[in-house]
Structure 1
């Protein structure tokens, strides 16, 4: 009998009264992962399938719990020894959460042979396109992991990372979905532990409400310092999909943000946001 079957067979009378009371007060999401993405299955076209077949063995890390799973293998120790074995050197390591089509991370990899890079991406087409871009250039300082990012950071040993990048994460615009945004206090704590002292978490978004969310999570996060130099005005209340146009009428306050990170290439995604008139918000939080 599985754990699920055993639990399902329990009647209310079989559960102690005190425990039943606690159970009734728990959130419906209690004990469940709140993911920052929805897993979509997408068939690769011939070009991307060829790239996968040609380059996956070179670039794709085998750290998943099992085939088809986005869980990190139990017992994985992501430390300096793992980095040295995987990349073949002791160069500082930068991790990008949500590398998309790979435009940004591959450009950075090519420009910085003195750094190691790890791209985290869950969607097959994005992984395949990153493989294609990196493989065509013969880049050696990149690896890709198709895993749930927060799980990887829990496996990281203290100080193993130089930087973490999170550029244009899924905004989850509906108010009820804001809990799915990748920037969360628990992840901030795990990233802080993984970063070397003086390391940074760079974040960018073109969604004003997400910018407010980042400030709420990060400006008071233990062990981080907002090292931006720009002052921006943002609403102090959240809006969601359907009422975002009311943001201009809400109370505003000044917040500190950063100049555009010059290590981030102008991707097609960012170009579309600019063309739509959205303002880019950049953040730099240093591990203090």
Structure 2
């Protein structure tokens, strides 16, 4: 996210509004069980998020208690862990048993406050949706939105996205979405960006034939990063038909203005995905004058 950049530390999935607090009241807060026992990650492991101690206001705490049993998947390695438990298989049988049908599955990496994926699930009852989010307030807010609408075609997993994809079977998903991931603006942190060749390989494997990975960012340097990672990868087709000019060199936090004087090149991007609702986060980016970059990569 670009309004509140994650601090240094242990890191994980990122996505639309992932670093913004959920809308709530000033009621007394209470920690979730997940926050009380946050897992420790090996120092060599490069993740894409900061693990904060998530605390929920009373409204979101009630939402967790009321709706977690309906929507939150029990697949974690242990209480407080963001890893998937050993031996778990996210395959067609699991999907059919969990959602009760064999409808196409859309997985959103970093669902943030859940605004987008809940709206999509409500608009497309013939499609199954899985929201991957690591932050307690985002998970609770997604549970609240889904529960208030009585949706049956959405589930939430509070796990590190690459771990879920490692446990997923080939071809199990129709689409994967990653909207407005944490930009990690400092150059030394670019390796923490969620769009990386390793994850791209797992996403491609998990997608069904001709499945797509939809990505969006409002950060110009992240747009260049996406092109550098994805455009040259075997097995992917950039289906964009919009020509965008981008600087060919990277900038870091505090010197983004230097990009204007760098050499530029044309890249292919997509028109705005009409299946993405205009969230509060995206509205803020547009109001700040940022350009939204949409990408559609099809499994070739």
Per the normalisation by structure 2, the TM-score is 0.85
CA contact (8 A) 1:189 1:222 kept: no
Matching of residues 225-264 of structure 1 within 5 Å: 225-264=237-276
Question: Which of 127, 131, 144 pairs up with 1:132?
Answer: 144
CA contact (8 A) 1:257 1:282 kept: yes
Do residues 75 (structure 1) and 92 (structure 2) align? Answer: no
Provide the aligned length of Structure 1 versus Structure 2: 260
Q: CA deviation at 1:43?
A: 1.3
The equivalent of 1:271 in structure 2 is 283
Matching of residues 1-288 of structure 1 within 5 Å: 32-288=44-300
SS in 2 for 1:96: strand
2-structure distance, mates of 1:76, 1:32: 24
Per chain length, whose mean CA-contact separation is higher, i.e. which structure has more relative contact order (CA < 8 Å, sep 6+)? 2
Question: Hey, which of these two has a bigger chunk of helix by percent?
Answer: 1
Per the normalisation by structure 1, the TM-score is 0.89
Q: Deviations over 1:237-270 (max 9, x none)?
A: 1001011110000010000000000000000000
SS in 1 for 2:55: coil
Structure 2 regions of 5+ residues with no counterpart?
A: 1-40
Structure 1 regions of 5+ residues with no counterpart?
A: 1-28
Q: CA deviation at 1:156?
A: 1.0
Q: What is the Cα-based RMSD across aligned positions, in Å?
A: 1.2
SS in 1 for 2:205: helix
SS in 2 for 1:239: coil
1-structure distance, mates of 2:84, 2:44: 16
Q: Deviations over 1:158-186 (max 9, x none)?
A: 11000000000000000000000000000
